[in-house]
């Protein structure tokens, strides 16, 4: 399916992009892999890491720049849209910048993809887009709506748009696990002792993207079944007798994250071990997939990180060690 195809990854020098490219190269998927990002130093480092692999192409550009996107998407079959501004507290103090990248950038991806006849777009989202209380989550919710609605707005086109929503990627840049791992004074800053978070490994994230490239039909938000962890259990991974410093909830931060809202659950079904939030009534979606997958009705009103299967400290440690062996930082 992918052997003679091309793929472009926006934000391709980030944690996901580097690990995803490694996966694609190891499996000999796609004959051309385009990295689209803003930072020339990160692209330079990535070129060196992959030893100037002949399948790789590097485009300096910004998703805010529609003309540059149109150039980059020429003769591209698939797009994984990973570019975003993501830091919650940064978004609260720089709202214009988050809107330009996360919302206007999404609109530019849609427009440029249609003009280039791209086959499929997979946009990466976040649990913070479910019932958002911060600007980052709100911009990603807008982005999700844009991508899902694009299938309806331009139904005469062949391009398919789908969204993947998941939680914190273990060991990803800027996340809490690398922060705790680098603490040397045994003092751990905790915003709230009750805090919980969803957790997904990089391999799980990549598998979900590949499943979506193969199976998504457009207009859906794909949500994986993943575990959660308590922040205090995560601290126990790094210290038997930690000093806990309560620093308080940061602006825009939730104590518990939510993967599927109560309203979204009305249009949610379970397909192939994944939750699918549909743009329209689930029955319309089922007609398109009934011969491909087993499915069942989603029976929860919501899916919150504090009402989920928790990883124990031992399971967290095992997961961190496994990730560290293969994770490309």
Q: Return the active site residues.
A: 128
How far out from the chain centre does Cα 132 lie? Answer: 16
Residue 99's contacts (CB-CB under 8 Å, 6 or more residues apart) are 135, 139
Question: What whole-number distance in Å separates Cα of residue 258 and Cα of residue 214?
Answer: 26
Residue 101: CB atoms within 10 A of its CB come to 22
Render the burial of 180-213: b for 16+ CB within 10 Å, e for the rest: beeeeeeebebebeebbbbbbbbebbbebbbbbb
Question: What whole-number distance in Å separates Cα of residue 65 and Cα of residue 74?
Answer: 15
Closest residue by Cα to residue 113 from 150, 156, 60 = 150
Helix spans in 102-230 (H): 105-116, 135-153, 176-181, 202-215
Residue 27's alpha-carbon distances to 15, 21, 24, 183, in angstroms, are 19, 10, 5, 36
Using DSSP's 3-state secondary structure scheme, residue 141 falls into helix
Question: What whole-number distance in Å separates Cα of residue 5 and Cα of residue 32?
Answer: 7
């Amino acid at each position: 399916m992918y052997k003679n195809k091309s793929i472009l990854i926006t934000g391709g020098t980030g944690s996901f992009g580097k690990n995803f490219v490694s996966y694609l190269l190891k499996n000999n998927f796609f004959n051309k892999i385009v990295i689209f990002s803003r930072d020339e130093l990160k692209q330079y480092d990535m070129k060196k890491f992959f030893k100037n692999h002949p399948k790789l192409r590097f485009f300096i550009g910004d998703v805010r720049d529609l003309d540059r996107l149109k150039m980059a998407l020429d003769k591209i079959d698939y797009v994984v849209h990973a570019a975003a501004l993501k830091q919650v507290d940064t978004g609260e103090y720089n709202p214009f910048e988050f809107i330009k990248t996360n919302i206007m950038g999404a609109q530019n991806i849609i427009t440029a993809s249609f003009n280039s006849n791209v086959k499929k777009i997979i946009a990466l989202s976040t649990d913070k887009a479910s019932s958002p209380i911060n600007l980052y989550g709100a911009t990603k919710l807008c982005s999700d709506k844009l991508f899902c609605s694009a299938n309806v707005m331009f139904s005469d086109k062949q391009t398919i748009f789908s969204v993947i929503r998941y939680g914190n990627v273990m060991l990803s840049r800027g996340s809490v696990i690398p922060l705790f791992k680098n603490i040397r004074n045994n003092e751990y800053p905790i915003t709230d002792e009750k805090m919980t978070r969803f957790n997904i490994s990089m391999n799980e994230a990549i598998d979900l993207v590949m499943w979506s490239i193969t199976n998504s039909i457009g207009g859906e938000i794909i949500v994986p079944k993943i575990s959660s962890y308590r922040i205090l259990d995560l601290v126990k991974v790094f210290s038997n007798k930690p000093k806990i410093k309560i620093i308080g909830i940061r602006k825009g931060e939730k104590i518990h994250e939510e993967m599927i809202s109560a309203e979204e659950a009305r249009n949610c079904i379970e397909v192939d071990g994944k939750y699918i939030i549909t743009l329209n009534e689930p029955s319309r979606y089922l007609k398109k997939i009934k011969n491909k997958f087993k499915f069942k009705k989603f029976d929860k009103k919501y899916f919150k990180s504090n009402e989920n299967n928790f990883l124990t400290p031992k399971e967290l440690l095992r997961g961190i060690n496994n990730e560290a062996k293969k994770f490309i930082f």
